[in-house]
Structure 1
Amino acid sequence: MPSSPRVFSCACGRVRCEVAGEPIVSAVCYCTDCQEGGRRIEALPNAPHVRDPDGGTPYLTFRDDRFRCLAGEELLEDHRLKPDSRTRRVVANCCDTGMFLKFDPGFWVSTYRLRYSGALPPIEMRTKIERRRSALPLPQDAPSFRGFPLRLIGRLIVARLAMASGR
Protein backbone atom coordinates (compact mmCIF):
# COMPACT_ATOMS: atom_id res chain seq x y z
CA MET A 1 0.00 0.00 0.00
CA PRO A 2 1.17 3.56 -0.59
CA SER A 3 2.46 5.56 2.38
CA SER A 4 0.48 7.57 4.94
CA PRO A 5 -2.02 4.94 6.09
CA ARG A 6 -5.05 6.12 8.04
CA VAL A 7 -7.04 3.70 10.23
CA PHE A 8 -10.75 3.99 10.97
CA SER A 9 -12.92 1.72 13.06
CA CYS A 10 -16.44 0.85 14.10
CA ALA A 11 -17.86 2.31 17.32
CA CYS A 12 -16.83 -0.66 19.48
CA GLY A 13 -13.40 -1.06 17.82
CA ARG A 14 -13.76 -4.67 16.70
CA VAL A 15 -13.67 -3.75 13.00
CA ARG A 16 -10.71 -1.74 11.81
CA CYS A 17 -9.94 -0.70 8.24
CA GLU A 18 -7.04 1.14 6.68
CA VAL A 19 -6.67 3.46 3.71
CA ALA A 20 -3.45 4.76 2.25
CA GLY A 21 -2.55 7.83 0.28
CA GLU A 22 -4.76 10.74 -0.58
CA PRO A 23 -8.43 10.18 -1.31
CA ILE A 24 -9.77 10.48 -4.84
CA VAL A 25 -12.25 12.94 -3.38
CA SER A 26 -13.57 14.23 -0.07
CA ALA A 27 -17.23 14.95 -0.76
CA VAL A 28 -20.71 15.09 0.70
CA CYS A 29 -23.46 13.38 -1.31
CA TYR A 30 -27.15 14.27 -1.16
CA CYS A 31 -28.43 11.74 -3.69
CA THR A 32 -31.66 9.99 -2.80
CA ASP A 33 -29.89 6.65 -2.29
CA CYS A 34 -27.24 8.06 0.06
CA GLN A 35 -29.87 9.85 2.12
CA GLU A 36 -32.07 6.72 2.34
CA GLY A 37 -29.12 4.40 2.94
CA GLY A 38 -27.90 6.67 5.72
CA ARG A 39 -31.36 6.79 7.29
CA ARG A 40 -31.56 3.00 7.26
CA ILE A 41 -28.14 2.55 8.84
CA GLU A 42 -28.85 5.17 11.50
CA ALA A 43 -32.15 3.39 12.32
CA LEU A 44 -30.24 0.27 13.43
CA PRO A 45 -30.05 -0.19 17.23
CA ASN A 46 -27.42 2.17 18.73
CA ALA A 47 -25.96 2.97 15.29
CA PRO A 48 -23.71 6.03 15.15
CA HIS A 49 -24.45 8.68 12.55
CA VAL A 50 -23.18 8.37 8.99
CA ARG A 51 -24.92 11.56 7.80
CA ASP A 52 -24.39 15.19 8.63
CA PRO A 53 -27.20 17.10 10.40
CA ASP A 54 -28.49 18.35 7.01
CA GLY A 55 -28.88 14.81 5.63
CA GLY A 56 -25.76 14.77 3.45
CA THR A 57 -23.44 11.78 3.61
CA PRO A 58 -19.77 12.76 3.87
CA TYR A 59 -17.27 10.37 2.31
CA LEU A 60 -13.55 9.95 1.74
CA THR A 61 -13.26 7.93 -1.47
CA PHE A 62 -10.22 5.75 -2.21
CA ARG A 63 -9.11 3.32 -4.89
CA ASP A 64 -9.80 -0.32 -4.03
CA ASP A 65 -6.07 -1.07 -3.95
CA ARG A 66 -5.59 1.54 -1.20
CA PHE A 67 -8.17 0.04 1.14
CA ARG A 68 -8.04 -3.03 3.37
CA CYS A 69 -9.70 -4.47 6.41
CA LEU A 70 -7.25 -4.98 9.28
CA ALA A 71 -9.55 -6.71 11.78
CA GLY A 72 -13.12 -7.91 12.04
CA GLU A 73 -13.82 -8.50 8.35
CA GLU A 74 -16.11 -11.40 9.33
CA LEU A 75 -18.30 -8.85 11.18
CA LEU A 76 -19.00 -6.81 8.05
CA GLU A 77 -22.48 -7.13 6.57
CA ASP A 78 -23.82 -5.76 3.29
CA HIS A 79 -26.95 -3.62 3.29
CA ARG A 80 -28.64 -2.86 -0.04
CA LEU A 81 -31.58 -0.59 -0.72
CA LYS A 82 -32.98 -3.23 -3.10
CA PRO A 83 -31.92 -6.88 -3.46
CA ASP A 84 -30.48 -6.26 -6.95
CA SER A 85 -28.76 -2.96 -6.08
CA ARG A 86 -25.18 -2.58 -7.30
CA THR A 87 -24.38 -0.44 -4.25
CA ARG A 88 -23.56 -2.08 -0.94
CA ARG A 89 -23.48 -0.12 2.29
CA VAL A 90 -21.22 -2.12 4.58
CA VAL A 91 -22.03 -2.18 8.29
CA ALA A 92 -20.10 -3.64 11.22
CA ASN A 93 -22.79 -5.88 12.73
CA CYS A 94 -21.07 -5.96 16.13
CA CYS A 95 -22.27 -2.40 16.86
CA ASP A 96 -24.29 -1.44 13.73
CA THR A 97 -21.69 1.05 12.53
CA GLY A 98 -21.75 2.10 8.88
CA MET A 99 -18.18 1.65 7.63
CA PHE A 100 -18.12 2.20 3.86
CA LEU A 101 -20.02 2.09 0.61
CA LYS A 102 -18.99 -0.06 -2.34
CA PHE A 103 -20.42 0.34 -5.83
CA ASP A 104 -20.01 -2.83 -7.89
CA PRO A 105 -18.31 -3.11 -10.35
CA GLY A 106 -16.54 0.14 -9.38
CA PHE A 107 -12.88 0.26 -8.45
CA TRP A 108 -13.32 2.63 -5.51
CA VAL A 109 -14.58 2.47 -1.95
CA SER A 110 -16.30 5.42 -0.29
CA THR A 111 -15.57 5.36 3.42
CA TYR A 112 -17.89 7.13 5.85
CA ARG A 113 -16.00 10.26 6.87
CA LEU A 114 -17.54 10.25 10.36
CA ARG A 115 -15.67 7.01 11.19
CA TYR A 116 -12.31 8.77 11.27
CA SER A 117 -10.71 10.74 14.06
CA GLY A 118 -8.02 13.37 13.77
CA ALA A 119 -7.35 15.83 10.98
CA LEU A 120 -9.02 15.04 7.67
CA PRO A 121 -8.82 16.59 4.21
CA PRO A 122 -11.34 19.40 3.77
CA ILE A 123 -14.64 18.77 1.98
CA GLU A 124 -13.97 19.47 -1.71
CA MET A 125 -17.49 19.33 -3.10
CA ARG A 126 -21.14 18.71 -2.32
CA THR A 127 -22.93 16.63 -4.94
CA LYS A 128 -26.56 16.04 -5.93
CA ILE A 129 -27.80 19.03 -3.93
CA GLU A 130 -30.93 19.00 -6.12
CA ARG A 131 -32.04 16.02 -3.95
CA ARG A 132 -31.23 17.70 -0.62
CA ARG A 133 -34.31 17.79 1.68
CA SER A 134 -33.05 19.78 4.67
CA ALA A 135 -34.37 23.11 5.91
CA LEU A 136 -30.91 23.88 7.30
CA PRO A 137 -28.77 26.29 5.28
CA LEU A 138 -26.54 24.62 2.71
CA PRO A 139 -22.96 24.72 4.05
CA GLN A 140 -20.75 27.04 2.02
CA ASP A 141 -17.47 25.26 2.78
CA ALA A 142 -17.09 23.83 -0.74
CA PRO A 143 -18.58 24.13 -4.23
CA SER A 144 -22.03 22.55 -4.58
CA PHE A 145 -23.32 20.75 -7.66
CA ARG A 146 -26.83 19.77 -8.73
CA GLY A 147 -25.52 16.44 -10.05
CA PHE A 148 -22.18 14.65 -10.21
CA PRO A 149 -19.70 17.16 -11.66
CA LEU A 150 -17.38 16.36 -14.55
CA ARG A 151 -14.36 16.99 -12.33
CA LEU A 152 -15.50 14.12 -10.07
CA ILE A 153 -15.91 11.82 -13.07
CA GLY A 154 -12.50 12.97 -14.30
CA ARG A 155 -10.86 12.14 -10.98
CA LEU A 156 -12.38 8.67 -11.04
CA ILE A 157 -11.05 8.10 -14.57
CA VAL A 158 -7.56 9.32 -13.62
CA ALA A 159 -7.61 7.09 -10.51
CA ARG A 160 -8.66 4.08 -12.61
CA LEU A 161 -5.87 4.68 -15.12
CA ALA A 162 -3.31 5.06 -12.32
CA MET A 163 -4.53 1.86 -10.69
CA ALA A 164 -4.39 -0.05 -13.99
CA SER A 165 -0.84 1.11 -14.60
CA GLY A 166 0.27 0.21 -11.07
CA ARG A 167 0.93 3.78 -9.97
Structure 2
Amino acid sequence: MTETTCSCGAVALSLSGPPILAAECHCSSCRAAAERLGAAIAEPNGGTRFVIQRKDRAKLVRGAEHLASFRLTPQASTQRIVATCCNSPMWLEFKGGHWLSIYAARWSDGAAPRPALRTMTRDAPDRLPDDLPNASTQSAGFMARLLWAWICMGFRNPPVADVRRVLDV
Protein backbone atom coordinates (compact mmCIF):
# COMPACT_ATOMS: atom_id res chain seq x y z
CA MET A 1 0.00 0.00 0.00
CA THR A 2 1.29 3.44 -0.99
CA GLU A 3 -0.06 6.80 0.07
CA THR A 4 0.40 9.90 -2.05
CA THR A 5 -0.35 13.33 -0.65
CA CYS A 6 -0.64 16.96 -1.60
CA SER A 7 2.24 19.21 -0.56
CA CYS A 8 0.73 20.09 2.81
CA GLY A 9 -0.63 16.60 3.54
CA ALA A 10 -4.31 17.59 3.84
CA VAL A 11 -5.26 15.37 0.86
CA ALA A 12 -4.20 11.74 0.62
CA LEU A 13 -4.77 9.03 -1.95
CA SER A 14 -4.12 5.41 -1.02
CA LEU A 15 -2.88 3.11 -3.80
CA SER A 16 -2.80 -0.67 -3.74
CA GLY A 17 -1.25 -3.08 -6.18
CA PRO A 18 1.28 -2.31 -8.88
CA PRO A 19 0.74 0.60 -11.26
CA ILE A 20 -0.28 0.00 -14.85
CA LEU A 21 2.68 2.04 -16.05
CA ALA A 22 4.89 4.98 -15.14
CA ALA A 23 5.45 7.40 -18.02
CA GLU A 24 6.52 10.91 -18.90
CA CYS A 25 4.05 12.77 -21.13
CA HIS A 26 5.11 15.51 -23.54
CA CYS A 27 1.73 16.40 -25.03
CA SER A 28 0.88 20.06 -25.45
CA SER A 29 -2.02 19.73 -22.97
CA CYS A 30 0.19 18.47 -20.15
CA ARG A 31 2.73 21.21 -20.80
CA ALA A 32 0.01 23.89 -20.90
CA ALA A 33 -1.59 22.60 -17.68
CA ALA A 34 1.75 22.62 -15.85
CA GLU A 35 2.29 26.22 -16.92
CA ARG A 36 -1.22 27.38 -16.01
CA LEU A 37 -1.34 25.59 -12.68
CA GLY A 38 2.01 27.11 -11.70
CA ALA A 39 3.00 23.92 -9.92
CA ALA A 40 6.27 22.03 -9.88
CA ILE A 41 5.02 19.07 -11.92
CA ALA A 42 7.05 19.58 -15.10
CA GLU A 43 10.35 17.78 -15.55
CA PRO A 44 13.41 19.83 -16.62
CA ASN A 45 12.85 18.57 -20.20
CA GLY A 46 9.26 19.90 -20.19
CA GLY A 47 7.49 16.57 -19.74
CA THR A 48 5.11 15.61 -16.94
CA ARG A 49 5.72 12.39 -15.02
CA PHE A 50 2.71 10.24 -14.20
CA VAL A 51 2.11 6.93 -12.49
CA ILE A 52 -0.92 5.33 -14.09
CA GLN A 53 -3.06 3.40 -11.62
CA ARG A 54 -6.29 1.43 -11.92
CA LYS A 55 -9.19 3.36 -10.36
CA ASP A 56 -10.25 0.33 -8.35
CA ARG A 57 -6.85 0.43 -6.65
CA ALA A 58 -7.02 4.11 -5.70
CA LYS A 59 -8.96 5.39 -2.71
CA LEU A 60 -9.22 8.94 -1.44
CA VAL A 61 -8.56 8.66 2.31
CA ARG A 62 -8.75 12.32 3.30
CA GLY A 63 -9.23 15.81 1.98
CA ALA A 64 -12.17 15.55 -0.45
CA GLU A 65 -13.28 19.01 0.65
CA HIS A 66 -10.03 20.45 -0.76
CA LEU A 67 -10.35 18.98 -4.25
CA ALA A 68 -11.24 20.98 -7.33
CA SER A 69 -11.39 20.15 -11.03
CA PHE A 70 -9.34 22.05 -13.59
CA ARG A 71 -9.91 21.75 -17.36
CA LEU A 72 -7.87 23.53 -20.01
CA THR A 73 -11.12 24.37 -21.84
CA PRO A 74 -14.77 23.79 -20.89
CA GLN A 75 -14.96 21.12 -23.63
CA ALA A 76 -11.83 19.22 -22.51
CA SER A 77 -12.37 15.50 -21.92
CA THR A 78 -9.66 15.47 -19.27
CA GLN A 79 -9.74 17.04 -15.86
CA ARG A 80 -6.85 17.63 -13.54
CA ILE A 81 -7.73 17.27 -9.89
CA VAL A 82 -6.02 19.86 -7.70
CA ALA A 83 -5.74 20.11 -3.90
CA THR A 84 -6.71 23.73 -3.30
CA CYS A 85 -5.28 23.76 0.22
CA CYS A 86 -1.75 24.04 -1.24
CA ASN A 87 -2.32 24.23 -5.03
CA SER A 88 -1.00 20.71 -5.61
CA PRO A 89 -2.09 18.92 -8.79
CA MET A 90 -2.98 15.40 -7.65
CA TRP A 91 -4.07 13.44 -10.70
CA LEU A 92 -5.39 13.63 -14.23
CA GLU A 93 -8.58 11.81 -15.14
CA PHE A 94 -9.81 11.06 -18.66
CA LYS A 95 -13.57 11.15 -19.11
CA GLY A 96 -14.72 7.54 -19.18
CA GLY A 97 -11.25 6.27 -18.29
CA HIS A 98 -10.75 3.38 -15.89
CA TRP A 99 -7.40 4.72 -14.68
CA LEU A 100 -5.89 7.76 -12.97
CA SER A 101 -2.69 9.41 -14.10
CA ILE A 102 -1.25 10.42 -10.74
CA TYR A 103 1.42 13.11 -10.77
CA ALA A 104 4.78 11.62 -9.77
CA ALA A 105 5.38 14.76 -7.69
CA ARG A 106 2.81 13.40 -5.21
CA TRP A 107 5.26 10.75 -3.98
CA SER A 108 7.52 11.98 -1.20
CA ASP A 109 11.29 12.07 -1.66
CA GLY A 110 11.18 11.06 -5.33
CA ALA A 111 9.84 7.60 -4.47
CA ALA A 112 7.54 7.43 -7.51
CA PRO A 113 8.26 4.57 -9.89
CA ARG A 114 10.74 5.51 -12.62
CA PRO A 115 9.13 6.10 -16.03
CA ALA A 116 9.28 3.19 -18.46
CA LEU A 117 8.82 5.46 -21.49
CA ARG A 118 8.04 8.92 -22.79
CA THR A 119 4.82 9.42 -24.71
CA MET A 120 3.52 12.09 -27.10
CA THR A 121 7.06 13.21 -27.86
CA ARG A 122 5.97 14.60 -31.22
CA ASP A 123 4.66 17.59 -29.23
CA ALA A 124 7.98 18.16 -27.43
CA PRO A 125 9.67 21.39 -28.54
CA ASP A 126 13.19 19.97 -28.08
CA ARG A 127 15.03 16.76 -28.79
CA LEU A 128 14.81 14.36 -25.86
CA PRO A 129 17.53 12.07 -24.53
CA ASP A 130 17.43 8.40 -25.52
CA ASP A 131 17.60 7.06 -21.95
CA LEU A 132 13.96 5.91 -22.30
CA PRO A 133 11.89 4.86 -25.29
CA ASN A 134 10.48 8.03 -26.88
CA ALA A 135 7.08 7.24 -28.42
CA SER A 136 5.74 9.93 -30.74
CA THR A 137 2.15 9.04 -29.69
CA GLN A 138 0.74 6.44 -27.30
CA SER A 139 2.54 3.24 -28.22
CA ALA A 140 0.84 -0.09 -28.83
CA GLY A 141 2.39 -1.38 -25.59
CA PHE A 142 1.02 1.60 -23.66
CA MET A 143 -2.49 1.01 -25.03
CA ALA A 144 -2.24 -2.76 -24.44
CA ARG A 145 -1.44 -2.18 -20.75
CA LEU A 146 -4.50 0.08 -20.41
CA LEU A 147 -6.70 -2.49 -22.15
CA TRP A 148 -5.37 -5.37 -20.03
CA ALA A 149 -6.04 -3.37 -16.83
CA TRP A 150 -9.60 -2.71 -17.98
CA ILE A 151 -10.15 -6.40 -18.74
CA CYS A 152 -8.82 -7.28 -15.27
CA MET A 153 -11.27 -4.75 -13.80
CA GLY A 154 -14.21 -6.45 -15.52
CA PHE A 155 -14.65 -3.44 -17.83
CA ARG A 156 -15.69 -1.28 -14.86
CA ASN A 157 -14.98 2.40 -14.35
CA PRO A 158 -15.41 3.08 -10.61
CA PRO A 159 -15.42 6.63 -9.22
CA VAL A 160 -12.52 7.70 -7.01
CA ALA A 161 -13.78 11.05 -5.72
CA ASP A 162 -16.82 13.19 -6.35
CA VAL A 163 -15.20 16.49 -7.30
CA ARG A 164 -17.74 19.24 -7.88
CA ARG A 165 -15.71 22.39 -7.32
CA VAL A 166 -14.15 23.95 -10.39
CA LEU A 167 -10.79 25.68 -10.27
CA ASP A 168 -10.61 28.76 -12.48
CA VAL A 169 -7.01 29.31 -13.50
TM-score range, shorter chain: 0.7 to 0.9
Matches within 5 A, 1:62-141: 62-118=53-109, 119-134=111-126, 138-141=128-131
1:147 corresponds in structure 2 to: 137
Aligned length: 155
Q: Tell me how far 1:51 sits from its aligned partner.
A: 1.1
Q: How big is each residue's C-alpha offset from its partner over 1:44-90, in whole Å with a ceiling of 9 and x where there is no partner?
A: xxx4x111111100000011101111110111000001112110001
Structure-2-length-normalised TM-score: 0.87
Give the structure 2 partner of residue 32 of structure 1.
28
For residue 146 of structure 1, give the secondary structure of its aligned residue in structure 2: coil
Q: Is the 8 A contact 2:118 2:133 kept in 1?
A: yes
Question: Once structures 1 and 2 are overlaid, which stretch shifts more, 144-153 or 157-166?
Answer: 157-166
CA contact (8 A) 1:28 1:123 kept: yes
> Quick check: 2:23–2:116 contact (8 Å CA) kept in 1?
yes
Runs of 4+ in 1 over 3 A off after TM superposition: none
CA separation of 1:85 and 1:165: change in aligned 2, threshold 3 A: closer
TM-score (norm 1): 0.88
In the alignment, the residues of structure 2 paired with residue 128 and residue 85 of structure 1 have an alpha-carbon distance, to the nearest angstrom, of 18
Q: Percent identity?
A: 34
CA distance in 1, matches of 2:4, 2:82: 13
User: Structure 1 pair 73/139, CA: closer, same or farther in 2 (3 Å)?
Assistant: farther
Per-residue deviation, 1:121:
2.4
CA contact (8 A) 1:130 1:146 kept: yes
Work out the CA distance in 2 between the residues paired with 1:67 and 1:31: 25
| CA–CA distance in structure 2, aligned partners of residues 104 and 31 of structure 1 | 17
Cα distance, 1:165 vs. partner?
Answer: 7.2
What is the aligned partner in structure 2 of residue 58 from structure 1?
Answer: 49
Query: 8 Å contact 1:76–1:93 — kept in the other structure?
Result: yes
CA RMSD of aligned residues (A): 1.5
**What are structure 1's unaligned runs of at least 5 residues?**
none
Q: Does 1:156 align with 2:146?
A: yes
Secondary structure of residue in 2 paired with 1:153: helix
Query: Structure 2: which 5+ runs fail to align?
Result: 157-169
Q: Which amino acid aligns with 2:70?
A: H
For 2:98, give the aligned amino acid. F
